Amino acid sequence: MNYDELINCSRCGSDASYRQEISKEISIELCYGCGFQSNSVMLKGSTFFDEQWGVLPELYKVLMEEEENGKIWLPSHINVKGKGMIFADGNSKENWMWAGVKYIPVSGEETDEKYKDVEWKPDMTTIRHYGERDFMEALSYIGVLPE
């Protein structure tokens, strides 16, 4: 039986962590307190971990945390069509913040190949930065949560 529940985050202690069971073997967690995520198949040495590790930005690799039980926590990357995106932005474990960027519609006049068949694009002039524990404020900024 699949289920969703609010739990305390084992990474930061926030009571705003969301756990969803996809199947008996797979569950995912997203903490709205710290913005990090984990899942039950993200274990060091697993094929899934190795595949993910190969495509992660360097900052996400530096920010990765592993609990004693092997649970891996990585920063989230949120991308909501028509609203915006949130991602970890910075150059080191000591110097990073959450970045919130709003989306704007792609105009019919844009000829750039990367916007072919795309309705929305990030407007980097709207970027705002938030502290590690201000992930929910970033979600509010792009319109996912109420302000």
The string of pLDDT tens digits covering residues 23-47 is 888 999 999 999 999 998 888 888 8
- Give 102's strand partners: 84
146 assigned to some structural domain: no
Q: What is the dihedral of CA 25, 63, 36, 7, to 10 degrees?
A: 70
Number of domains, the chain: 2
108-130 confidence digits (pLDDT tens): 776 667 767 788 999 999 999 99
SS3 (DSSP) at 20? strand
- Give 121's strand partners: 104
Examine the fold and report which residue of 23, 52, 75 is the final residue of a domain before the chain moves on.
75
Q: Name the residue among 100, 124, 121 with its Cα closest to residue 110.
A: 121
* 130: containing domain: 78-141
Same domain, 61 and 30: yes
42-77 confidence digits (pLDDT tens): 888 888 889 999 999 999 999 999 998 888 999 999
Residues in the chain: 147
C-alpha distances in Å from residue 16, one per residue of 35, 107, 133: 10, 38, 11
Same domain, 37 and 95: no
Same domain, 8 and 54: yes
In the predicted model, is pLDDT for residue 20 greater than 70? yes
pLDDT at 28: 94
Same domain, 28 and 53: yes
pLDDT at 117: 75
